[in-house]
Amino acid sequence: FRSIYTSAVEAALKSNGYVVGVDVDQHYIGEKAVAENGYNPFVTSAMKGLAETVKHMLGEVVAGNFANYGGQVETLGLVSGDDPTANYVQLPMESTQWGDGFTQDDYKALVKAMYDGGVTVSNDISAMPATTITVNFAGNIK
């Protein structure tokens, strides 16, 4: 059984590229590649806060509040502008490869701005934003 990230990581390593993990902090997976390839291909991971969600919902069930949630879709996101690690979606603070272009302090400021409403994130897919993309073709990777 191979997960899709396995192929993405293999391709990144063969082309000296990088990947962004999903769901949980996947930095540890890339640590296995450091000795052989000289670097960890995981720049960061877009974490969903799965453990926090389960703990929260189990607490609500125990408190007798299941009727507030049963049969509904719940969207969980930011619950703190001051502590990014308390949110249901986040980047891992310790394992993200922060750089001069985007630092941990920049990330904290962005989270605070989103929480306070100064920056909004839209899920509207009816009109895509204007983008410029540069693709560096690495040939066929085997």
Residue 19: phi, psi to the nearest 5? Answer: -135, 160
Q: List per-residue pLDDT tens for the chain, 142 residues long.
A: 457 778 888 889 999 999 999 989 999 988 888 888 899 999 999 999 888 889 989 999 999 999 998 899 888 899 999 999 889 999 999 999 998 899 999 999 999 999 999 999 888 888 887 888 888 887 776 6
Q: How far is CA 20 from CA 35, 69, 118, in A?
A: 20, 32, 26
Decide: pTM greater than 0.85.
no
Q: What is the pLDDT at residue 1?
A: 46
Q: Which residues contact 83 (CB under 8 A, 6 or more apart)?
A: none
Q: Are strands 42-47 and 19-23 parallel, antiparallel or unpaired?
A: parallel
Pairwise CA distance, residues 92 & 114, whole Å: 17
